[in-house]
């Protein structure tokens, strides 16, 4: 009651009254490309002091939103000069600068690591709360759930995730969760693999997937080692004879809400390749 009276008096006298919600939103900097995505996608733009110097790289999904935003290196003195209320870092990011910020008493927030979509939701909620924007986090989560629900519409297909470095995924990773959400059965998980593993030549020669999900084959995001399994004739033939969907590497570089958009795009591409409009497989 007293607070309301004081607010009314301030308005009558022409005194500016600060928005209580705005006061709870910290002035923030982000120090790596994954932190950039969360800050650019959840924070009030007016409260973003700076993003990392990778925010507009091609592997940054929200690079368009980073245009015009000041950039900063992961350097303690540069960050300190901005006097942020909150420093957002990705999983295991920051290095010595992180310890430096702690010694100075600066508040830091680490995103964490996601191995499934429940983890992604938790990361969104935690980060949105830290940024004073919980409602924005819920909007992102709601859209992510909607996209994932849409992505499940189509025939089940066995799929192999493949990168130019010869790395693939078994069970228990966010990429495995991505595949399941998009209606793909991870052939590596079916073969008992878990975590991130090298492409197994013999097993895939004997049992090939219905479809290949390929990422980071743009020639710039990741170099192809001359000894990589992806250069082997088995895989080169497989990519010539098996339908391939090339995924947007930027959508996969950080475990955030937009990975659901890519899951839906992959599902829609698979439906076209396999003519699933009428439910028939080729």
User: pLDDT tens across 39-92, in order?
Assistant: 999 999 999 999 999 999 999 999 999 999 999 988 788 999 999 999 999 875
Percentage of residues in the chain with pLDDT exceeding 90?
62
Q: What is the DSSP letter of 22?
A: H
Q: Higher pLDDT residue, 147 or 221?
A: 147
Q: What is the mean pLDDT of the chain?
A: 85
- What is the DSSP code string of 68-91? TS-EE-S-HHHHHHH--SEEEE-T
Q: Say whether pLDDT at 99 is over 80.
A: no
Specify the range with the lowest mean pLDDT, choosing from 2-6, 103-107, 203-207: 2-6
Average pLDDT over residues 239-254: 92
Three-state SS annotation for 148-216: HHHHCCCCCEEEEEECCCCEEECECCHHHHHHHHCCEEEHHHHCCCECEEECCHHHHHHCCCCEEEECC
Average pLDDT over residues 215-236: 61
- What is the DSSP code string of 210-237? SEEEE-S-SSSSS---TT-GGGSHHHHH
pLDDT score, position 118: 98
Q: Say whether pLDDT at 222 is over 80.
A: no
Percentage of residues in the chain with pLDDT exceeding 70?
81
Q: Say whether pLDDT at 205 is over 90.
A: no
Q: How confident is the model at residue 227 (pLDDT cuts 50, 70, 90)?
A: very low
Specify the range with the lowest mean pLDDT, choosing from 136-145, 159-168, 243-252: 159-168
Q: Say whether pLDDT at 163 is over 80.
A: yes
Token pair for residue 97? 């600068």
The model's pTM is: 0.84
pLDDT score, position 200: 86
pLDDT score, position 230: 56
Looking at the chain, the domain(s) classified CATH 3.40.50.1980 span 20-146, 154-278
pLDDT score, position 18: 43
C-alpha 150/C-alpha 264 separation (Å) is 7
C-alpha 65/C-alpha 30 separation (Å) is 14
What CATH number labels 20-146? 3.40.50.1980
C-alpha 170/C-alpha 160 separation (Å) is 9
Q: Say whether pLDDT at 4 is over 70.
A: no
pLDDT score, position 33: 92
Q: Say whether pLDDT at 16 is over 70.
A: no
Q: How confident is the model at residue 246 (pLDDT cuts 50, 70, 90)?
A: very high
pLDDT score, position 195: 97
Q: Say whether pLDDT at 262 is over 70.
A: yes
Average pLDDT over residues 191-213: 88
Integer CA distances (angstroms), 33 to 52, 89, 200, in order: 7, 9, 31
Q: How confident is the model at residue 97 (pLDDT cuts 50, 70, 90)?
A: low
C-alpha 167/C-alpha 232 separation (Å) is 13
CATH number, domain 154-278, options 3.40.710.10, 3.40.50.1980, 3.40.50.10310, 3.40.50.720? 3.40.50.1980
Q: Say whether pLDDT at 131 is over 50.
A: yes
Give residue 164's Cα distance to chain centre.
20
C-alpha 83/C-alpha 102 separation (Å) is 14
Task: Please answer whether residues 116 and 180 qualify as being in contact, where contact means their C-beta atoms are separated by less than 8 angstroms.
Answer: no
């Amino acid at each position: 009651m007293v607070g309301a009276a004081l607010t009314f008096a301030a308005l009558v006298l022409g005194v500016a009254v600060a928005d209580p919600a705005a006061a709870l939103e910290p002035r923030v900097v982000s120090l790596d490309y994954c932190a950039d995505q969360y800050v650019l996608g959840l924070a009030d733009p007016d409260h973003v002091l700076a993003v990392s110097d990778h925010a507009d790289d091609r592997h940054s999904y929200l690079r368009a939103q980073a245009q015009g935003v000041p950039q900063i290196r992961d350097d303690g003195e540069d960050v300190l000069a901005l006097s942020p209320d909150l420093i957002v870092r990705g999983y295991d990011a920051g290095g010595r600068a992180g310890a430096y910020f702690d010694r100075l008493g600066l508040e830091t927030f680490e995103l964490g690591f996601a191995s499934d979509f429940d983890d992604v939701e938790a990361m969104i909620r935690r980060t949105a709360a830290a940024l004073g924007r919980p409602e924005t986090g819920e909007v992102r989560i709601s859209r992510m759930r909607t996209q994932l629900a849409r992505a499940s519409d189509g025939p089940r297909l066995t799929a192999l995730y493949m990168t130019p470095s010869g790395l693939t995924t078994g069970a228990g990773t966010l990429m495995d969760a991505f595949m399941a959400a998009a209606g793909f059965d991870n052939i590596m998980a079916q073969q008992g693999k878990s975590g991130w593993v090298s492409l197994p030549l013999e097993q895939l020669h004997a049992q090939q997937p219905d479809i290949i999900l390929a990422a980071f084959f743009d020639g710039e995001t990741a170099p192809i080692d001359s000894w990589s399994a992806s250069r082997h004739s088995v895989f080169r033939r497989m990519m010539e004879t098996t339908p391939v969907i090339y995924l947007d590497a930027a959508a996969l570089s950080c475990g955030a809400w937009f990975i659901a958009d890519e899951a839906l795009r992959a599902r829609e591409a698979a439906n076209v390749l396999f003519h699933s409009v009428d439910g028939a497989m080729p």
